[in-house]
Amino acid sequence: MFTAPEPVVRDRMISARGHACALLGVVDAAGGTVWGYAGRTLSGAIMAPDGPAWLRLVSEPAGKSGGKLWEGPKEAGQSVPPTVPRPRLTGLRDWSADGWDYRAEQYQLVTAPSVSPSPVARHGVGLPDAWWHNLRQALGCLALVETSRQAVREQYIRRRVPEFTGFTPGEITWTTAHGDLHWANLSGPELTLLDWEGWGTAPVGYDAANLYLHSLPVPDLAERVRKEFAHVLDTPAGRVGELTACTEILQAAARVPFYADLSDGVRQHLEHLRATPAGGPASATCCTAAGQFLPCPARYSSGSSAVTIPTRCSYSA
């Protein structure tokens, strides 16, 4: 997803990947490695005793490990129900060396490729209707997961959204979100949601808005995302999620090239939002026993307690 880091970081992470393979009793597979931002993570295929698998290596300076991003994948495995398709975490090892903390995560191999090698779509995706239905269902089920994790903090929204968008957000309606929903973190044509380090509570519509904004270079695709998630995006509550997603992209544009390329489109979209009042009453979605979606009260609101919604997708660890 990102280019390889500077040589000293690259060599350190490649060496640590070899150590991770030894700890887990697996063999590195040639080619196909994927770098995270600034070389913080390195992922790629491996061969485990029971067949092909995937290894994700994450690093932080010694003493800086732990916290939301570090624990995200492990906590997703404990808290997110199987109705939300994601890679199964099958092994985990931690160690420290030469001033760095490392975590190696071994996953079930996802055979379907990412929809795009880049987070930002550059062409049509040609996904079947069933894929879109499954994505709506997955996000609807995820929305009901109870967690104390935060994908986005209210303090950030109150401070940064006005700074980067010119909008002042009102009441925030909270739900549980993937937290990094873009085209490189979705597989197809069989749906899997990848990269769970940042999941947690976020404003309603935040995930859908992120996918929409990452689709802007392909108007037909952006229109499809907007249509599929109109039930959250075209609401006052969803507008806050959308403004939050816009803010994060504009803030990241100074350091991430593909967000710099996307920033003009995001600013144009903000101008459109200025001229378009948010829709009717805010609503969240829930998954019924038949797998359909109905309006339902959001599970979190600022200053209020959680609302229990008794549906098949209700889940807590």
pTM: 0.86
270-291 average pLDDT score? 57
Q: What is the DSSP string of 229-247?
A: THHHHTSHHHHHHHHHHHH
pLDDT band at 279, cuts 50/70/90? Answer: low
Percent of the chain at pLDDT > 70 equals: 87
Angle (CA) 80 185 313, round 5°: 25
| Burial zone of 74 (CB within 10 Å; 0-12 exposed, 13-18 middle, 19+ buried) | middle
pLDDT at 294: 33
Instruction: Kindly tell me if the per-residue pLDDT of 295 is higher than 50.
Output: no
155-178 average pLDDT score? 97
DSSP state of 118: S
pLDDT band at 61, cuts 50/70/90? Answer: very high
DSSP state of 255: T
- Chain segment 187-209, per-residue pLDDT in tens: 999 999 999 999 999 999 999 99
Instruction: Kindly tell me if the per-residue pLDDT of 301 is higher than 70.
Output: no
269-291 average pLDDT score? 59
Residue 244 structure tokens:
């939050």
pLDDT at 33: 84
pLDDT at 284: 35
pLDDT at 277: 81
Instruction: Kindly tell me if the per-residue pLDDT of 303 is higher than 60.
Output: no
pLDDT at 143: 97
9-36 average pLDDT score? 92
CA dist 172 and 312 (Å) reads: 26
Higher model confidence: residue 158 or residue 281?
Answer: 158
Mean pLDDT of the chain: 88
User: Which of 17-21, 203-207, 307-311 shows the lowest mean pLDDT across its residues?
Assistant: 307-311
